[in-house]
Amino acid sequence: MANGTDSKTYKGERSPCGPSRVLHVRKVPIEVSEAEVISLGVPFGKVTNLLMLKGKNQAFIEMASEEAAITMVNYYTTATPHVRNQPVYIQYSNHRELKTDNLLNQGRAQAALQAVNAVHSGNMSLSGTATASDGGMMPGQSPVLRLIVENLYYPVSLEVLHQIFSKFGTVLKIITFTKNNQFQALLQYADPMNAHHAKVALDGQNIYNGCCTLRVEFSKLTSLNVKYNNDKSRDFTRLDLPSGDGQPTLDPTMQTAFGAPGIISSPYPGAAGFAPAIGFHQAGLSMQTMPGALGPLTIPSSAMTGRMTIHGMAPTTIHSVLLVSNLNPDNISPHGLFILFGVYGDVHRVKILFNKKENALIQMADATQAQLAMSHLNGQRLYGKVIRVTISKHQTVQLPREGQEDQGLTKDFSGSPLHRFKKPGSKNFQNIFPPSATLHLSNIPPSTTDDFLKDLFAGSGYTVKAFKFFQKDRKMALIQLGSVEEAIQALIDLHNHDLGENHHLRVSFSKSTI
């Protein structure tokens, strides 16, 4: 391609061309380096040539194969790439290959290509490239990060992770899962350098104010295999994957349309299984506050409503009153519900419905605690029945009027000394776990033996499978019961049990097993 034909070329390229392994990149910021442009292509295959036209804010990237170029255009049609925080636009060129041998200023492009390709074959460190100053990058380091979110008081969705981590480079795949009662994710970048920068910047940061702390480390995996695109996992390079739960996937005519930029702004027109890969500003994270830190993020309403806004629905106003249904009316009491729901927040009032005793209303201190209790207790077994927990349309729980027949079904606990979360910043906030068969016991008096505690639980009708005191602190212990359902019932029965010596037993769910 001789310089004289440049101007002619671009006019022709405004209309989308058929697939080519040469891609035309527009609106490239003037200060961008060769390596940064090459890194747009690297996740999709080997980049074999590059031509930068800085005066025109344009570049051409040549991929080793047409398949790689097609995957790359499909991907970037659905998730606009950003270089130096500026959107750039990629489409097929009408050139079949780049001939740059006789052009001036190609030395830097060739050096950058060699450096990037060498890193990808894992046989050199980055000392020869512009990124050496970052330090800490090992040869052959993985582009896959393992993330753990600690202190998870608000749901963190795949979209939120995509939005945060996209600031550091092209995110190809994300898989989320719960392991050891912790929310974790594996996230694959286009390039190990992206992973390195993200790890340095984000490890130890809070996603939201005071909670949802990110722990970021390199994974031993070098690539992820995503089978389904849904709200638990996503491969942003493959729009054709099923959602895996019977929800409609995209039909082939839709997919071919993505090859031509600008036809469809979002690749997921109403596919119920997953949200768009673009436009996550709806999630409410104020990402402008980076570099280097997440800055003071406010809790987005969508995190509270569990991803409502991302599906284009208005967030429902969340209240702090829960409706619990399918309770066992023979065993349940306002006090029992107060103790159980009190694990996840401070319960102010409980009303078991007079005419329908398998239903109850529970008023929590705030909407966040209501959300937390709902996410942990909905679907658990209690006294032989699977309970359902939803947000109620009621704003408050009404107390009975003077002289009104109530049979003790409505109770006000707002002044209770048993609230776990009254103190701001209490360390109880860091020990909120889903129901588990292993209970954490604390506030045990020094003279209490393991046999005494095992007998206390066994004598109340529970199967004790294992018990151990904490080595460093005999005021605490773990006890493993026969099932999660038993543990829930034991917590209701024995939390605040008087052990003598002015000690009342504290019981909560443990993330550990014995």
Over residues 382-410, the mean pLDDT reads 89
In degrees, rounded to 5, the angle at the alpha carbon of residue 392 between the alpha carbons of residues 386 and 394 is: 145
Other Cβ atoms less than 10 A from the Cβ of 91: the count is 21
| Residue in the block written with tokens 């058929």 | 18
| pLDDT higher than 70, residue 1 | no
How far is residue 206's CA from residue 277's CA, in Å, rounded to a whole number? 23
| pLDDT higher than 70, residue 274 | no
pLDDT > 70: percent of the chain: 77
**pLDDT at residue 125 in the model:** 33
Confidence of residue 42 (pLDDT cuts 50, 70, 90): confident
Q: What is the pLDDT of residues 105-139, one digit of tens each?
A: 677 788 778 776 665 554 333 333 333 333 344 55
Task: Indicate the pairing of strand 182-189 with strand 144-150.
Answer: antiparallel
Q: Spell out the SS3 assignment of 443-502.
A: CCCCCCCHHHHHHHHHHCCCCEEEEEECCCCCCCEEEEECCHHHHHHHHHHHCCCECCCC
E strand or H helix at 116, and its extent?
helix 107-120
How far is residue 391's CA from residue 175's CA, in Å, rounded to a whole number? 28
Q: What is the pLDDT of residues 178-232, one digit of tens each?
A: 888 889 999 999 888 889 888 888 888 888 777 788 999 999 898 899 988 888 9
Task: Indicate the pairing of strand 385-386 with strand 381-382.
Answer: antiparallel
240: nearest Cα among 274, 206, 199? 274
**pLDDT at residue 160 in the model:** 86
| pLDDT higher than 60, residue 436 | yes
134: nearest Cα among 81, 199, 85, 207? 199
How far is residue 343's CA from residue 439's CA, in Å, rounded to a whole number? 12
How far is residue 267's CA from residue 9's CA, in Å, rounded to a whole number? 29
**pLDDT at residue 118 in the model:** 63
| pLDDT higher than 80, residue 61 | yes
Over residues 143-152, the mean pLDDT reads 91
**pLDDT at residue 147 in the model:** 96
161 vs 287, more confident: 161
| pLDDT higher than 90, residue 381 | yes
Confidence of residue 299 (pLDDT cuts 50, 70, 90): very low
Q: Would you say 444 and 431 are in contact if contact means Cβ atoms under 8 Å apart?
A: no
Other Cβ atoms less than 10 A from the Cβ of 347: the count is 30
Quick one: how far is CA 206 from the chain centroid? 12
Q: Would you say 140 and 148 are in contact if contact means Cβ atoms under 8 Å apart?
A: no
Amino acid in position 75 = Y
**pLDDT at residue 213 in the model:** 87
Confidence of residue 16 (pLDDT cuts 50, 70, 90): low
Is the pTM here over 0.75, yes or no? no
How far is residue 228's CA from residue 233's CA, in Å, rounded to a whole number? 6
**pLDDT at residue 311 in the model:** 29
| pLDDT higher than 80, residue 144 | yes
In degrees, rounded to 5, the angle at the alpha carbon of residue 485 between the alpha carbons of residues 184 and 421 is: 60
How far is residue 166's CA from residue 24's CA, in Å, rounded to a whole number? 22
Question: Strand, coil or helix: what is 488?
Answer: helix
Over residues 431-439, the mean pLDDT reads 91
Confidence of residue 244 (pLDDT cuts 50, 70, 90): confident
Q: Would you say 61 and 40 are in contact if contact means Cβ atoms under 8 Å apart?
A: yes
Over residues 467-481, the mean pLDDT reads 94
Q: Which tokens go with 123? A: 């046989």
Q: What is the pLDDT of residues 488-511, one digit of tens each?
A: 999 999 999 999 888 999 999 998
Return the DSSP state at 338: H
Over residues 158-182, the mean pLDDT reads 87
Q: Which of 21-35, 52-66, 322-336, 422-436 comes out lowest in average pLDDT?
A: 422-436
Question: Strand, coil or helix: what is 323?
Answer: strand
224: nearest Cα among 232, 233, 211? 233
**pLDDT at residue 44 in the model:** 80
Q: Which of 160-164, 390-394, 401-405, 423-427 comes out lowest in average pLDDT?
A: 423-427
Q: Would you say 504 and 497 are in contact if contact means Cβ atoms under 8 Å apart?
A: yes
Beta-carbon contacts of residue 76 (< 8 Å; ≥ 6 apart): 40, 90
